[in-house]
Chains A and B, each alone.
Chain A
Amino acid sequence: MSLVVRNLTARLGRTEVLHRVGLTAQAGEVTAIVGPNGSGKSTLLRCLTGDLSFSGDVLLNGRDPRTIPGWELATLRAVLPQASALAFPFTALEVVRIGLEARGSADRTGIAQAVLARVGLAGFEGRFYQELSGGEQARVQLARVLAQVWHPVPGGAPRWLFLDEPVAALDIAHQRVVTDIARAFAAEGGGVVAVMHDLNLTAGFAHRMVLLAEGRVRAEGPPDTVMTDALLSAAYGCEIRVGVIPSTPFLLPQMPDRQPPLR
């Protein structure tokens, strides 16, 4: 089972933002979408989650998500937007429960407590969302998203997580919490598609990378095939050098006037 995208073209207003994009993401893997600002990463995610109309084909578990009823789609995939505003003073527990409310679910409170513990927020149930730090709020939202696809889908089809910059607000330790959760979700058979900015972090946790630039896919594959000097330099429009420690590629910091000798 997989997520297949073919010839996807999308517009924002009058501007064509994505041009005939094609990619494949497998269930059981973490697929990261990377690329410079304005390359169309978030727009692509909005197309995949059904938030934006497009032309072309998207097949989620072999079905066009545009033909799946909203309530059923909500059991198949959950979406973590880049920024989540919350009106009204809900507690952390109540926010997570909203993720479960949309469908009938037994023991919502128990599930909400479990996912809050999973994101490292045990004991935060009664705290008001608005009083939490940015990183804590981000993890409450992640818990809500995990709760939404907590239950297996009838028929055993894989469930999907679509995450738009899930680690943007997080310190290094909590980045690990999130990447571990994504890997664990994939290890249990789910699919994860994440828009990422931090290439080093991505190389360490994604199974596959999709490199976007100017609305087109420039490269797709395991991190060591995408993270190359030539591909990244061309995509980001600046000189980038990639080093390799045993199997994981990483970026070397580049100072414009003080290039460290690499030889």
Chain B
Amino acid sequence: MSEAADIAAVPAGDRRARARRATFGLAAAVCAVSVLSLAQGPAGTSLWSALAALVTGEPIPLRDRVVLLDIRLPRLALGLLVGAALAVSGAVMQGLFRNPLADPGLVGVSAGAGLGAIAAIVLGGALPVGAAALVGSSLVPLAAFFGGWISTLLLYRVSTRGGRTSVATMLLAGIALGALTGAVSGLLVYAADDAQLRELTFWGLGSLAGASWPKLAVAGPIILTALALSPLLARGLNALALGEATAGYLGLPVQRIKSAAIVSVAAATGAAVAVSGGIGFIGIVVPHLLRLATGPDHRMLVPNAALLGAAMLILADVIARGVIAPAELPIGIVTAIIGGPFFLWILLRSRGVLDL
């Protein structure tokens, strides 16, 4: 009842109604870019003629069906999941670290995933034939996922004493671990041959080109579970904005919230990085834009971040596929080229209004 009253007469300082309207707008945007993504591609396959054929009952040519259902649709689904995972992970990390510049990379998942992927690319050829056949093309994503997971567990272990996790220690240990994994990665890159170097570069820039239903079947459930759990953290993250002690005084299980946040971010980001490589920027810019537009209340921020992250990544992918078609740009380049200046513009515009 009070919720309805709140919408009817929005009290000053209450931005939930605006955030709810944003949810509808963002959901519409996700639908729009999804249609765009399905409709566009170098194959000349038309989504519209396929849909028309579906309606009239005519048979859809096999080639069109393959392009739509086995190439564009899994790519769209993967883009939606990865975009949502990166943006929600960013929002959760920023809430946990009480810092708008925090990024999923802080829990060590990106460094570890990167090292895992590089090791798989450079050393994968040395695997015994049987093992290589077993994992096949999944070797790089699997190595990335486990690399990310191991480094997160390591960081968590280092920064937890007596059942209490220090986020400050985690931040510092993350820098140390990042330097270490960077050094090992550097060694591997030094030892790599030319073909491997090219593969490494492309992996590092990120792409949705490798999307397939089997990959989705592995990464999808992990990301969806993490996304479904993250709204449960929202109240705790709001209280954490007042400091850990105060969150405890408010009756919240602070340590459980911290552990859950770290696990969900490591899982979602690990899975996302494993299947799409290093796509930067979404995790930091999406929550920030939403905070400027509708406020930092995590109960609205987390779901809206999922929508905006998904829409932004799909849009970036549409651009990446379109600008130099039939070739395509790595998507990480697109997110950075468009997102960077846009982010700077937002910061300049709001300078002096909002203190980080």
- Identify the A interface with B (CB < 8 A): 49-51, 70-75, 78-79, 81, 84-95, 98-99, 101-103, 106-110, 113, 123, 125-128, 130-131, 144, 148
Most buried by A among B13, B250, B291: B13
- Contact between B2 and A127 (Cβ–Cβ < 8 Å)? no
CA distance A103 to B250 in the complex (A): 8
CB contacts (< 8 Å) of A51 on chain B: these are 245, 248-249
- Contact between A49 and B238 (Cβ–Cβ < 8 Å)? no
Residue contacts A-B, CB under 8 angstroms, 9 given = A70-B253, A74-B251, A81-B245, A84-B246, A85-B98, A88-B100, A88-B296, A93-B12, A102-B235
State whether A148 and B250 are in contact (beta carbons under 8 Å apart), knowing that A85-B243, A127-B13 are contacts in the complex: yes
CA distance A86 to B268 in the complex (A): 27
Across the interface, B251 reaches (CB within 8 A) one of A72, A85, A87, A144, namely: A72
How many residue pairs bridge A and B at CB < 8 Å? 108
CA distance A92 to B245 in the complex (A): 20
CA distance A81 to B247 in the complex (A): 11
CB contacts (< 8 Å) of A131 on chain B: these are 355
A129–chain B nearest beta-carbon distance, Å = 10
- Contact between A89 and B295 (Cβ–Cβ < 8 Å)? yes
Select from chain B the residue with minimum beta-carbon distance to A105.
Answer: B2
State whether A87 and B99 are in contact (beta carbons under 8 Å apart), knowing that A71-B251, A110-B2 are contacts in the complex: yes
Across the interface, B250 reaches (CB within 8 A) one of A74, A107, A126, A127, namely: A74
B199 located at the interface, meaning its Cβ lies under 8 Å from any Cβ of chain A in the complex: no
CB contacts (< 8 Å) of B6 on chain A: these are 109
Most buried by B among A90, A106, A110, A148: A90
B72–chain A nearest beta-carbon distance, Å = 38
- Identify the B interface with A (CB < 8 A): 1-2, 6, 11-15, 98-100, 235, 238-243, 245-246, 248-253, 291, 295-297, 354-355
Select from chain A the residue with minimum beta-carbon distance to B298.
Answer: A88
B240–chain A nearest beta-carbon distance, Å = 8
A254–chain B nearest beta-carbon distance, Å = 36
- Contact between B238 and A101 (Cβ–Cβ < 8 Å)? yes
- Contact between A101 and B296 (Cβ–Cβ < 8 Å)? no
A229–chain B nearest beta-carbon distance, Å = 37
State whether A126 and B245 are in contact (beta carbons under 8 Å apart), knowing that A72-B251, A98-B238 are contacts in the complex: no
CB contacts (< 8 Å) of A73 on chain B: these are 251
- Contact between A70 and B248 (Cβ–Cβ < 8 Å)? yes
Across the interface, A90 reaches (CB within 8 A) one of B245, B250, B296, namely: B296
CB contacts (< 8 Å) of A85 on chain B: these are 98, 242-243
Across the interface, A78 reaches (CB within 8 A) one of B100, B243, B249, namely: B249
Q: 10 additional contacts, CB 8 Å, given A81-B246, A84-B242?
A: A81-B243, A84-B243, A86-B241, A87-B99, A87-B240, A93-B12, A94-B295, A126-B12, A130-B355, A148-B249
A193–chain B nearest beta-carbon distance, Å = 14
- Contact between A74 and B249 (Cβ–Cβ < 8 Å)? yes
CB contacts (< 8 Å) of A79 on chain B: these are 246, 249
CB contacts (< 8 Å) of A126 on chain B: these are 12-13
B98–chain A nearest beta-carbon distance, Å = 4
- Contact between B2 and A107 (Cβ–Cβ < 8 Å)? yes
CB contacts (< 8 Å) of B243 on chain A: these are 81, 84-85
- Contact between B14 and A98 (Cβ–Cβ < 8 Å)? no
